[in-house]
Each structure stands twice: as C-alpha cells, then as structure tokens.
Structure 1
Amino acid sequence: MIISRRQDLADLPPPDVQLEGRKLPLQESINILGVEYDESLSFTTHARKVAKNAAWRLNCVRRISHLLDTKGVEVLYKAQARAEQLVRLKAAPHQPAPFQPLQECRDVAGLCVMHKAHIQNTRHLVTLQLPSPPPATHSTRAAPFRQQQVDVPYSRTKHHLRSFLPRYGRLWNKLVSNTDFGHSDSLQAFKREVNRWVASARDYNNY
C-alpha cells in the first residue's frame, strides 16, 4: 500500500517490493475473501460487479421461466430477491413460500452468532458479548427472563440501530422472552428451533 499526501499518484514510482525474488506489482484492487477492495479502500467496484452478474443471471432465469416449475426456478436462483417473485408467480394460491426469505436467513444466522457468543462463549466472538441488564427491582411478568437477556446498546441514529449488536441484541431478548430454547447447548438444535420461531412469527405478523 502506498500512503502519500500527493493527490496525483500517477507519476509516483511504485515501491520496489520483492517476495522470493519476484517483484510485486502495484495493483489498483485486491481480492480478500471474495470481496474486492479498490485503491480507495471501498468495495464499490465489487458491488457493481455483483449487481451486474445478478442482473445477468436473473435475465437468464426470466427467459426460461415458462419452461420451469417452482422448484426449478428456486434452484437456479435462490439467493436473489427478485427471483423470489418469479418463484411465487409459479406457486399455487395459498401455497407456502418455497424458500425462506433472505432477511429471515440473515436473522437466523445473526441469532446463531449471538448463541455462540453468549451461550457457547466462543473465543473469537468475545467482542460481541453484551452485558447483562441490571437486576429487576420488583417482580414483573418479564422478571424471570431478565437474567437471560442482554443490555442492548443505545442507538442515536437509525444507521446504528440497524447494526449487528443493537438489532440482534433486541431480537435475542425477544427470543429468550418468548421461548425456552435460548440456552440450548447444541447449536444445531438451537438453529432448528430458531428457524421454526421466525417462520411462525412471520405467519402471525409479529416478527
């Protein structure tokens, strides 16, 4: 990485960095774990490529959608929200959704991370652990669940409110207040029950 106060780096010679006798060329972008970062340390280029590829694949699915049933469209493009609309067009009236909505998949994954951080005490997730709320001063209906809940960080902006700890801290508190499987030692059993919980909550419009 070149760090300079100069605004025009076009004429700045690249540093002579060698690895095992081979000179490392200066690159305008780098791929880290599947995400491409450009020279301004943003992934705008990566997002544009993903959007372009998604639009191209969706167009291919749309062209042959009349030849496929619901399962066929789902397999071809399960991860794309716009493809979900094509699948629902193929479904019969009052038929259950052929696959879980993407937001529910994210919420299940987020609650599993909270479970690993607070119940399994996974070492590399220790920074995601939230403190317990102060003890209840008087007996209430929610008092028995208070020791299982977490103290959700206060949010001053909507952007912070949607970040991981505020969002899934609130969702975790709701889960342990309405279910009894939050302290399950098995992550597989917890994930199975969470999938059922978010699906039932969606059906009753309270999720």
Structure 2
Amino acid sequence: MEYAPLTWSSCPPSYLSLLDKVQARAQRLIRLKALQDQLLPPLQPLQQRRDVAGLCVVYKTHKQHVPHLAALRQPWARPHGHTTRTAATRDHQLIVPFARTETSLRSFLPRYTRMWNRMVQQTQLQSISSLQTFKSAVNAWIKQP
C-alpha cells in the first residue's frame, strides 16, 4: 500500500475503503502488541500519504524537471493581463486537463493538478527548494482543517 500511492489514487472509493480497513486492522494489531506504557504515534491516513506523494510528483515534474516524469508535465496557466488578488499566484498554477467522467476526474493529472493549484493559492510552498522540506510542508498543509 505504501509503495504504489499514485496507482491507488485514482481508484474508486470502494477500493480505497478496503485499503483503509487493512490499515485499521494493522493499527489494532500494533496496539495489541505494544507494551502498556509505550505511547505509539498515530499512523498517517493512507489518503494523506497518497496526496503528499502525488504533490511531490508534481513538484518533481515542474520544479526539479525530472526527465522520466516529463510525460506528466502540464502547461503553466497564462498570467492575467491585469492585476487581481490571484494574479501573483497565477504564475505558478497549472492548466487542469479536461475530464468528462468521474473516473477521469479522480485520475492522477486532473486530481493533483487541481490540488497543486489550490496549494499555490493558499501557500507559498511552490517556492521551496528542497523536496524533503516541500514534503514536510505539504504534510502540514494537508492536515489543516
């Protein structure tokens, strides 16, 4: 489950709920085997792991220009011709590919391009230079209500 988050990201919710059940069972087993005085940190939800991994792939594709991910590169959105509140973040947004069906909307490119654009509007994370720092900051951003 940990090694293929991008493969699982576009699955139907019914499949993802099965994976969540497996993780919940693993957490129960871990708690049973732990010592009574031992405090265990909570495991991250699998959806959060998938989202962080997806945004890291978008970051690698657009900021680090990793060659083997070039097929996933989306075009940058055109800047506004006039000044608006969102004009400053528009330079870092991507064009969301058109998707007609629910399955296509959940697929990697539309889902994580929309999430990238939302992140760019709400934060300045796209300007971070290190992938590890970006990953930590995205984890904190996703946890926010």
Shorter-chain TM-score category?
0.7 to 0.9
Aligned to 2:109: 165
Alpha carbons 1:112, 1:191 under 8 Å: kept: yes
Which contiguous aligned blocks of 4+ residues in structure 1 show a shift greater than 6 angstroms? Answer: none
Alpha carbons 1:145, 1:177 under 8 Å: kept: yes
Matching of residue 195 in structure 1 with residue 139 in structure 2: yes
Alpha carbons 2:77, 2:92 under 8 Å: kept: no
The one-letter amino acid of 1:156's match is R
Bigger proportion of residues as strand: 1
Query: Structure 1: which 5+ residue stretches go unaligned?
Result: 1-50, 55-77, 91-96
Aligned to 1:141: 85
Structure ranking higher on relative contact order (CA contacts 8 Å, 6+ apart): 2
Matching of residue 100 in structure 1 with residue 44 in structure 2: yes
Aligned to 1:66: none
SS at match of 1:80: helix
Q: Quick one: structure 1 residues 98 and 125, their matched pair in 2 at CA, closer, same or farther if it must change by over 3 Å?
A: same
Instruction: Give the TM-score of the pair, scaled to structure 1.
Output: 0.52
The one-letter amino acid of 2:88's match is P
Q: Supply the distance in 2 between the matched residues of 1:136 and 1:156 (Cα, whole angstroms).
A: 26
Aligned to 2:129: 185
RMSD: 2.8
Aligned to 1:125: 69
Alpha carbons 1:114, 1:168 under 8 Å: kept: yes
Aligned to 2:54: 110
The one-letter amino acid of 1:80's match is V
**Aligned residues between the structures:** 120
Query: Structure 2: which 5+ residue stretches go unaligned?
Result: 1-17, 33-40
SS at match of 1:111: helix
Q: Quick one: structure 1 residues 136 and 193, their matched pair in 2 at CA, closer, same or farther if it must change by over 3 Å?
A: same
SS at match of 2:127: coil
Q: Supply the distance in 2 between the matched residues of 1:198 and 1:171 (Cα, whole angstroms).
A: 10
Identity of matched residues, % = 45
Deviations 1:79-98 (A, max 9, x none): 933327748x99xxxxxx81
Instruction: Give the TM-score of the pair, scaled to structure 2.
Output: 0.73
